[in-house]
Amino acid sequence: HLEDSRMTGFLETSDGAEERRSNPHMHLLEAFLAWHKATGERAYLRRAARIIDLFRSHFFDAESWTIGEYFDEGWKPAAGEKGSWTEPGHHFEWASLLVDFAARSGQNELPAFARKLYASAIANGLNRATGLAYGAVSRQGLPLDTVSRGWPQAEAIKAAIALDGSGGPDLKPEIEARVGRLFRWHIDPAPLGLWIDRIDERGRSLATEVPASIFYHLVYALTQYLDGTAQMG
C-alpha cells in the first residue's frame, strides 16, 4: 500500500525512501478516470480529485506554465538539474487528462491550466528543425534531452484534440499538422506495421528497436483522430 499517510499522493516505494515524481501520479490519474468511466462509481472520481489537488499545489509552476518531474519528500523541486527537468510529452498528457477530468467533475477552470501546459510545450519544447517534441527541456526552455521519441508526438495529437473546442482557439489545423509530423518522421519511413521510435535533433533515426511500450500511445492518439474526422465527415 503506497498511499502517503500525510495525504500527499503516493510513495515511489514501500519504504518511502525514493524521490517523489509527478509522472506516476499522472498515470494513476489516468487509471482513476478509466475506472470511473468503466464503473460510473464516484469514488474513483474523488481519488482522481486528490491527484488534481497535487497538480494545483505542487506539480504546476504558474510562472513558467510547466510541470516539474522530480521532487523531494516535501514536494519541493529536486536539487540541481532534476528540479528544472520538464518533459513536453508529459505536458501534453496532463493537458488531455485535465480536460477529461473537468468534463466529469465540473471543475471548469481546469481547461485553462491545460491550455497553458500545451502552450508552453509548443513554445519551448519543440525542435524547430523537425517540429517534433524534445524529450526534455528546462523550465526556461533550454533543451536537456534533444531526442524526439514517438510517444510525445502522439500525446501532442491527443492534447490538441482534447483542447479543440474547449474555449480556446481552433486547433483543427494544429491537429492535422501534428498527425502529419508523426507520420513523416516516425511511421512512414519505418517498415510496414512498425515505427521509428527515436529521432535525433537533425531528423535522423536513432532507432535500434521497436519498443512495444509506445504502441498504446499511437493507437489511442490515432483512434481519437479517426473518431474526430468521422464525426466531422
Q: What is the pTM of this model?
A: 0.93
Dist. CA 167–CA 38, nearest whole Å: 27
Going by pLDDT thresholds of 50, 70 and 90, the confidence category of residue 93 is very high
CA distances from 34 to 38, 66, 209 (A): 6, 25, 30
Note the helical H segments in the chain: 23-39, 42-54, 81-84, 88-105, 110-124, 150-163, 172-181, 215-232
Residues 101-137 pLDDT 10s: 999 999 999 999 999 999 999 999 999 999 999 999 9
Q: Please, are residues 71 and 78 in contact by the beta-carbon 8 Å criterion? A: yes
Residues 10-42 pLDDT 10s: 666 555 556 889 999 999 999 999 999 999 999
Q: Phi/psi of residue 95, each to 5°?
A: -60, -45
Domains with residue ranges and CATH for the chain: 20-232 (1.50.10.10)
